């Protein structure tokens, strides 16, 4: 089965925030990071259930979220998504060093 991948406004905002931070360090590195992120997101359309459940975030938010890790240490990011019927919904893109998601976040 091929899933549709839906990127929420929150996940888009997370991407923009991370890209802006990275572009301050290196324009070329930021462009490579963004291209790689787009490829990683596209890969969610196939076998998304192979990624583990993000237990703590799932409990806090009351929905089953899975996570895909993108990047290399120390710059790894967690792509937090749910599987809903024939769609993968990408909710958050968070640097792995950030705190758990607050249920009040969009």
Report the domain count for the chain: 1
Q: Domain containing 21 — which CATH number?
A: 3.30.2310.20
Residue 34 lies inside a defined structural domain of this protein:
yes
**Residue 49 φ then ψ, to 5°:** -70, -5
Degrees to nearest 5, angle at CA 41 with 104 and 93: 25
Choose among 37, 28, 24: nearest CA to 95.
37
Residue 104 lies inside a defined structural domain of this protein:
no
* Average pLDDT, integer, range 81-88: 97
| pTM for the structure as a whole | 0.89
Render pLDDT for 20-79 as a digit per residue (tens, 0 to 9): 999 999 999 999 999 999 999 999 999 999 999 999 999 999 999 999 999 988 789 999
Rounded Cα–Cα distance for residues 11 and 26 (Å): 22
pLDDT at 33: 95
Between residues 80 and 104, the one the model is more confident about: 80
> Which run of H or of E encompasses 33?
helix 27-43
């Amino acid at each position: 089965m091929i899933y549709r991948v839906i990127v929420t406004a929150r996940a888009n905002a997370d991407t923009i925030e991370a890209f802006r931070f990275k572009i301050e360090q290196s324009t070329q590195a930021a462009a490579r990071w963004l291209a790689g992120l787009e490829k990683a997101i596209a890969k969610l359309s196939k076998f998304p259930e192979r990624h583990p459940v993000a237990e703590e975030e799932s409990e806090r938010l009351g929905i089953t979220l899975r996570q895909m890790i993108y990047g290399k240490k120390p710059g790894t990011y967690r792509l937090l998504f749910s599987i809903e019927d024939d769609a993968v919904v990408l909710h958050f893109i968070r640097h792995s060093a950030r705190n758990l998601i607050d249920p009040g976040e969009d």
